[in-house]
Structure 1
Amino acid sequence: MPSGPLSIRPVSSKRDTKQFIEIAYRLNGNDPHWVPPLRDEVAATISPKKNGWFSHAEAQYFLAERDGETVGRISAHIDFLALEMPPEQGFGPGTGFWGLFEAEDQNAAKALINAAEDWLRGKGMTKALGPVSLSIWEEPGLLVKGHDHSPTVLMGHHPAHYQAWIEAAGYKEAKKLLTYELDVTQQFPPLVQRIVAAGEKNERINVRMVDKSKFDQEAEIILAILNDAWSDNWGFVPLTPPEIADVGKKLKPLVFNDLIRIAEYDGEPVAFMVTLPDLNEPLKPLKGSLLPFGWAKLLLWLQRPKARTARVPLMGVVKRLQSSRMASQLAFMMIEYIRRAAVETYGASRGEIGWILDDNQGMNAIASAIDSRINREYVIYQKPL
């Protein structure tokens, strides 16, 4: 471990960017549960030219160095749409963020967080939230429970000691995010089965698969429901067309008709559920690179995916139905149909739902009703600047 004086400097060159990316592989490489992301995907995420999030955001990246060796990294960023959100929903005027955090030791961690805070203050921010990497829709929060198993697709994984380092820097919990796991080979409890059966008899309800051949139209339907359903949630920032275009390109290979459902009531789309086979399972052995033969293995898997885990990253019911029994009925119907497909077609034995806000009573009640249990907890921290 380098022992010389610590320096913090902004990323300003292609070489710096490479170091910013590579430090995560060095610091996490010995963790058996860390899933190395593809380096090209990381590079695209942090590039304003390749990530649609930057159409309403700006960021500065920092490196920590000792004796010429990189020992940490952090991003400081501002989401201009987040600044427009109501303060009672967590963000609002003066809210800045930091994320993409990695540090070899506590001194580097403290210096990096200080650098991010200074940059945010210089931009007029009065509150910092982190880690959020980079968008709230990407990998929000620090893992504080569930270090004993690997994350599923699009979820983060962090060393346990980061929690103490962040809290020592003066940060307090702003919100906790939960994921739930369940055995999908088992049928749901009798009450849930009766609710699903009753819904199937209701001629006004239609739960259909998406049609990947109409990807853009289906994505537009889901986006409209999502932005309505989540609009009052803590931390909500609307997804924009540039982001949707980028997410579409990234996730389209993981879209399978029977794992994504849209619920219609009287012919109107009112709810959706997105489920993805766990891409992290084939990614993990590739160690962040598609060369020399990783691309072929991944392509083969995408053509006929078999995954132990299927993850539900997103679901929503239009706001006008959220306080009704119909909302939970539609959710149970979509979950059940997707459960059957995940087991029969993709060989899944385990499901994961989340993230879910810890105070989202409706979703937590649904998770409890299908006999799932909390398996991972993430915390988004905040601090006045």
Structure 2
Amino acid sequence: MISIQAVDSPKRLKQFIELPFRLYADDPLWIAPLRSDMKRLLSPRHNPFFREAEIEHFLAVDAQGQVQGRISVSIHAAYNERFGDEHVFFGFFEVAPDPAVARALFEAVGNWARARGKSRLLGPYSYTSTQDAALLLENIDGRAPTLLQTYNPLWYADTLKQLGFELAFTFSTYGVTAEQYRVRRKASRSDRVMPGSQFSVRTATRADLRDNLDEVRCLFNSAFAENYEVAPISAASFKFQIDSVKTFIDLEGIKLIELEGRAVAFFLILPDLNQILDKLKGSLGLFDLFKLGRYKRSVDGAVIALIGADPTVQGSGLGRLIGDEIGRYAEPRFGRLDTMWIDDRNPSSYVLARNLGMRRTKRYGVFGLDLVETSL
């Protein structure tokens, strides 16, 4: 017997956070998040996204009182305004290998969604499409995830398919070593960009950081205004996300590319903080605080966390310039560079990865379910 419980108390919130630590205890590729970060992320008081969406969390509990699964469900008004009012997201999905657990969780999610007049379930998105997204389908390089890459057992996808979900679309991540990039860079032709137009590249300033990189946020929203699945990021939610990594931001890793004084493209590169999280195992102890400087210096990988270009200048050769600037920053500082997810329907981003000499490292999927046609 599996019972479903709403996460409505500190005890259940702790169970929600702790479940992956038990499920992945013997998996060397899983990177534990900091429990303190998870508490802030799941807190309506701390996370401003709770003011932008309707959110609920559920636990699946067996007859012995042990938690066997968890899930979130959310309705993001800004996403539905852009893509249709029928959508509900599920996320933070983790289950023990028992089909009854997943079925019970999705029955609860389906009932919650129908009660609010929604008919399309999509995910995993935790809590929306610009946050942790998608199920791992193929771990092509066999490596642990980098920062901003999700991780799960590969059988999760089969579990969803058995419940009637269909693969809606796929993402991929890409990576390159510094040595591989050096070989590629010799063939760079980024100086041959838009003859007659003058691009300039500037590094973000401390003032930009104090303003929570709002120029980057606005450019991101503009760049992705016509793209699949991306809803605009509010200033409050963007600040919340930036604040979580602000200590580790190197301003040299944030570039704005301007044309005639107007920002038309940007990228944000972060150190692969998963290399630090792997040492912390979910908790930041007193001795870890003393070691934090050494941990930071030991990080030899970086992740392209955000990237975007105004659609009006895409196809002009700007991608080569962006790729060259990314390489110029990352090559002398890091032994490896990875991307977060890139929509497989977005050829311009794939071309940028290819121009950097990157190879596909992982493949992810987002799944959809029509609640009108299912009995869940």
TM-score (norm 1): 0.90
Kept in 2, the 8 Å contact 1:192–1:369? The answer is no
Residue 368 of structure 1 pairs with residue 365 of structure 2: no
TM-superposed CA distance for 1:264, in Å, is 1.3
Distance in 1 of aligned mates of 2:91 and 2:337: 28
Residue 336 of structure 1 pairs with residue 327 of structure 2: yes
Distance 1:73 1:218, change over 3 A: closer
TM-superposed CA distance for 1:376, in Å, is 0.8
Structure 1 residue corresponding to 2:165, chosen from 163, 166, 171: 171
Residue 319 of structure 1 pairs with residue 311 of structure 2: yes
TM-superposed CA distance for 1:278, in Å, is 0.4
Corresponding residue SS for 2:110: helix
Distance 1:192 1:252, change over 3 A: farther
Kept in 1, the 8 Å contact 2:327–2:356? The answer is no
TM-superposed CA distance for 1:236, in Å, is 1.1
Residue 193 of structure 1 pairs with residue 188 of structure 2: yes
**2:137 matched residue in structure 1:** 144
Corresponding residue SS for 2:21: helix
Cα deviation code 1:5-59 (max 9, x no counterpart): 2211211211011111111110012110000000011111111111121121021
Residue 49 of structure 1 pairs with residue 42 of structure 2: no
Matching residue's letter, 2:70: R
Structure 2 residue corresponding to 1:272, chosen from 256, 266, 271: 266
**1:89 matched residue in structure 2:** none
What pairs up with 1:12-27 in 2 under 5 angstroms? 12-27=8-23
RMSD, matched Cα: 2.0
Distance in 1 of aligned mates of 2:338 and 2:307: 13
Distance 1:162 1:190, change over 3 A: closer
Kept in 2, the 8 Å contact 1:308–1:349? The answer is yes
Matching residue's letter, 1:328: G
Distance in 2 of aligned mates of 1:68 and 1:157: 26
TM-superposed CA distance for 1:366, in Å, is 1.9
**2:125 matched residue in structure 1:** 132
Percent identical pairs in the alignment equals 28
Kept in 2, the 8 Å contact 1:143–1:158? The answer is yes
Residue 62 of structure 1 pairs with residue 58 of structure 2: yes
Comparing 209-218 and 288-297, the one that deviates more: 209-218
Kept in 2, the 8 Å contact 1:21–1:39? The answer is yes
Structure 1: stretches of 5+ with no match in the other structure: 87-91
Q: How many equivalent residue pairs?
A: 367
Kept in 1, the 8 Å contact 2:212–2:239? The answer is no
Kept in 1, the 8 Å contact 2:87–2:118? The answer is yes
Distance 1:96 1:35, change over 3 A: same
Structure 2: stretches of 5+ with no match in the other structure: 372-376
What pairs up with 1:1-385 in 2 under 5 angstroms? 5-66=1-62, 67-86=64-83, 92-104=84-96, 105-146=98-139, 148-185=142-179, 186-189=181-184, 192-194=187-189, 196-198=190-192, 204-217=198-211, 219-302=213-296, 305-322=297-314, 324-340=315-331, 344=332, 346=333, 348-385=334-371
Distance in 2 of aligned mates of 1:149 and 1:316: 26
TM-score (norm 2): 0.92
Kept in 2, the 8 Å contact 1:271–1:330? The answer is no
Matching residue's letter, 2:77: F
Distance 1:326 1:266, change over 3 A: farther
TM-superposed CA distance for 1:197, in Å, is 3.6
Distance in 1 of aligned mates of 2:194 and 2:299: 28
